[in-house]
Amino acid sequence: MQSRRYMLEQDQVDQSLVPRNAEKIALAPDQQAEQATYDILHECLEQIGANMAVAQVLADPEGPHQLRVGLRRLRSAFSVFTLVLHSPKLARLGEEARWLGDEVGRLRDIDVVVNDIVRQEADSHPGEPGLSALAEGLSEQAAEVRGQLRKCLTEARAQAFLIDLARFVETRGWLVPQDFGRTERLAALSVLAESALSKRWRKVGKRARGLKTLDVGQRHELRKELKKLRYAVEFLSPLFLAKRVEPFVKRLKKLQTVFGDLNDAATVKAMFARTEVRYGSDLLAQRAIGWVIGASQARAEYSWAGARAMWRDLKETRPFWK
């Protein structure tokens, strides 16, 4: 069988290699928390490993996106199952997951800007030739950043992280024989689920205080807490009746969309503030950059105008875990 290295050199790609989304994990209320911890961490490992392979071979933006999602879900799982995961290895694995997520994020951000924002503006406004030129310039940069990420993923640090994570998960590296408090922490999963979800919900509520007056930094912190809550819900919702989960998740997703628009606007503004963005001295490109910044800011402000009502709807929805 040809190795992946040989296939890359020959410009061949395994047709079965596709970006891997997170998969829902079957959990039971009477299941031990330790077994659920293993099942969820194993799923995170599978998503991360598969998309590391995809990102090394394919130009599909979904690969890096799902890799970053997998890394974020892993770190959220570490937080959700903190009562189970008593291990000195945890902090280092979390730090390495954050580092790799930042590396992947550099490509993911430029992919979002060029594909989801600039190209959409170019398609909607064909009379603005600078938009197409800007998209092409950003695409060239994305290709270079993709090459840098591929190199990073094959180097020792990223590969060591994947190996260490696999060893930690598959050998249940969090189990310590002399830990006599282990039995209490391995109680029924339903007890841990209620505690973990309540904790995440309280953190969201704290960040959402005075929602109308939040500045850019505070909005960003709230966005991160909403994302952590969403991952915790995705992990643990199989334990609860769907008819109770769905209204909460529906409202949570709507609120997250608002913060997604805010984040896109911030990403666009930051990216075009950097001097390495090409065609920055071209008059048409400067006009296009201003156009894209303005359009993304307007979209974010329009979304933000409805944030208070969406937050009120979410707060008034009974938490499904109580």
Q: What is the pLDDT of residues 237-270, one digit of tens each?
A: 999 999 999 999 999 999 999 999 999 999 999 9
Q: What is the mean pLDDT of residues 212-230?
A: 93
d(CA 198, CA 125): 46
Domain hosting 73: range is 30-201+210-316
Residue 49's alpha-carbon distances to 54, 81, 95, 283, in angstroms, are 9, 21, 17, 44
Count of domains forming the chain: 1
Radius of gyration of the chain (CA): 22
Residue 77's alpha-carbon distances to 54, 85, 295, in angstroms, are 23, 10, 36
In a domain, 16, yes or no: no
In a domain, 5, yes or no: no
Q: What is the DSSP letter of 282?
A: S
Within 10 angstroms of residue 290's Cβ, the number of other Cβ atoms is 12
In a domain, 14, yes or no: no
Whether the per-residue pLDDT at 197 is higher than 60: the answer is: yes
Give the per-residue pLDDT at 74.
98
Q: What is the pLDDT of residues 141-181, one digit of tens each?
A: 999 999 999 999 999 999 999 999 999 999 999 886 665 45
d(CA 33, CA 28): 10
Give the per-residue pLDDT at 29.
83
Residue 277's domain is classified under what CATH number? 1.40.20.10
- Number of alpha carbons in the 13 Å side-chain half-sphere of residue 210: 4
- Number of alpha carbons in the 13 Å side-chain half-sphere of residue 109: 17
Q: Which amino acid is present at 80?
A: V
pLDDT band at 3 (very low <50, low <70, confident <90, very high): very low
Please check whether residue 299 is in contact with residue 261, taking contact to mean a CB–CB distance below 8 angstroms.
yes
Q: What is the DSSP letter of 184?
A: H
In a domain, 4, yes or no: no
Give the per-residue pLDDT at 281.
59
d(CA 64, CA 58): 10
Please check whether residue 101 is in contact with residue 276, taking contact to mean a CB–CB distance below 8 angstroms.
no
- Percent residues over pLDDT 90 in the chain: 72
pLDDT band at 4 (very low <50, low <70, confident <90, very high): very low
190 or 228: which carries more pLDDT confidence? 228
Within 10 angstroms of residue 152's Cβ, the number of other Cβ atoms is 18
- The answer to whether the pTM exceeds 0.95 is no
In a domain, 64, yes or no: yes
CA 184 to chain centre: 32
In a domain, 217, yes or no: yes
Residue 11's alpha-carbon distances to 19, 62, 197, 200, in angstroms, are 19, 20, 47, 46
In a domain, 13, yes or no: no
> 4 is written with which tokens?
């992946």
Q: Which amino acid is present at 90?
A: L
12 or 14: which carries more pLDDT confidence? 14
104 or 7: which carries more pLDDT confidence? 104
Please check whether residue 228 is in contact with residue 203, taking contact to mean a CB–CB distance below 8 angstroms.
yes
Phi, psi of 84 (to 5 degrees): -90, -40
Residue 102's alpha-carbon distances to 78, 96, 118, 302, in angstroms, are 18, 10, 22, 29
CB-neighbour burial class of residue 1 (10 A; exposed 0-12, middle 13-18, buried 19+): exposed
> 210 is written with which tokens?
């005075």
Handedness of CA 255, 269, 299, 289 (dihedral sign): negative
In a domain, 160, yes or no: yes
CA nearest neighbour of 266 among 304, 234, 319: 304
Whether the per-residue pLDDT at 203 is higher than 90: the answer is: yes
